[in-house]
Amino acid sequence: MPHILSGAIIAAGRGERLRPATAGLPKPLVELDGKALLLRQIELMQRIGLKSVYVIVNTETAGLLQQRGIAIPAGVELVVADTPTSMESILTLGTRIPPGWFLLTTVDAIVTESEFRRFAAQARSLIAASAGAEPFDGALGVVKWRGDARPLFVDSAADGLITRLGDEQGERVTAGLYFFTTRIFAYADEARALGLNALRRFLAFLLGKKMRFAAIELTVAVDVDEAADLEQARALITGRRENGASG
């Protein structure tokens, strides 16, 4: 069974669509049930046993963390960089994450702790079971599409192997929760040379390079982009909502 060596969190975006509802506060510091989104994601990773967690934030968020006296837990390496795209954010983290496997989430991908634990356990099991001639290189959490804006659609085969990632509409979308081998970073220079400008483009590129990813179905996930999403996320983690999903 593969050992999760690290956790990683992408939190370097500005979250412009959410700012009108948060008095201009950057998304990582927006509170959900009394806790900043960034701290919530870190705690989830540490609760499943990840000893090393790598987090990327921009200079605005880093400054506010210091200004407000918000302590980052021990075992977390905070990488401060004003990366222009989500792809650059993950590639920057890739220079810090040691070789092996890592669990990745975006700061605004909200799932319950039980779903988070289940995803990590299932990803490890799937990858261990596939060890051999055609092993999986990672796994992506997916949910049923509920009409949210700008989703990344996912198609997969009967064995869970992802066969397509793209903008063309389908039934399921990515949920912002991933499990990868650090071998994905071997393609960093090629992806940059192609001018790819988002994490979603990088993932589709990796699929084109014949990397093998499994789809793991999640029950509910909320991608916090706007005020309404924040309310749905609050309802989800406080147990007021059991059905529905946003990828």
Instruction: Return per-residue pLDDT of the chain as tens, 247 residues.
Output: 566 789 999 999 877 777 777 778 899 999 998 999 999 999 999 999 999 999 999 999 999 999 999 999 999 999 999 999 999 999 999 999 999 999 999 999 999 999 999 999 999 999 988 877 789 999 999 999 987 778 999 999 998 999 999 999 999 999 999 999 999 999 999 999 999 999 999 999 999 999 999 999 999 999 998 888 999 999 999 885 444 344 3
Q: Could you tell me if residue 21 is inside a domain? A: yes
For residue 18, give every residue at least 6 positions away whose Cβ sits within 8 Å of its Cβ, in sequence order, or none: 27, 30, 224, 225, 226, 227, 229, 230
**Alpha carbon 177 to its chain's center:** 4
Give the CA count within 13 Å in the CB-facing half-sphere of 79. 22
Q: Could you tell me if residue 114 is inside a domain? A: yes
Q: Could you tell me if residue 246 is inside a domain? A: no
Based on the structure, what is the number of domains in the chain?
1
Q: Could you tell me if residue 71 is inside a domain? A: yes
Q: What CATH number does residue 97 fall under?
A: 3.90.550.10
Please answer whether residues 194 and 203 qualify as being in contact, where contact means their C-beta atoms are separated by less than 8 angstroms: no
Give the pair of three-digit tokens for residue 47. 């609760």
Give the pair of three-digit tokens for residue 243. 């059905």
pLDDT, residue 3, reads 64
pLDDT, residue 240, reads 59
Q: Which domain holds residue 170?
A: 4-237
Place of tokens 């991933």: 178
pLDDT, residue 225, reads 87
Question: Residue 124: how many CB atoms within 10 A of its CB?
Answer: 18
113-157 pLDDT, tens digit per residue, is 999 999 999 999 999 888 777 899 999 999 999 877 789 999 999
Q: Could you tell me if residue 194 is inside a domain? A: yes
pLDDT, residue 147, reads 78
Q: Could you tell me if residue 243 is inside a domain? A: no
Give the CA count within 13 Å in the CB-facing half-sphere of 230. 21
Q: Could you tell me if residue 244 is inside a domain? A: no
Q: Could you tell me if residue 242 is inside a domain? A: no
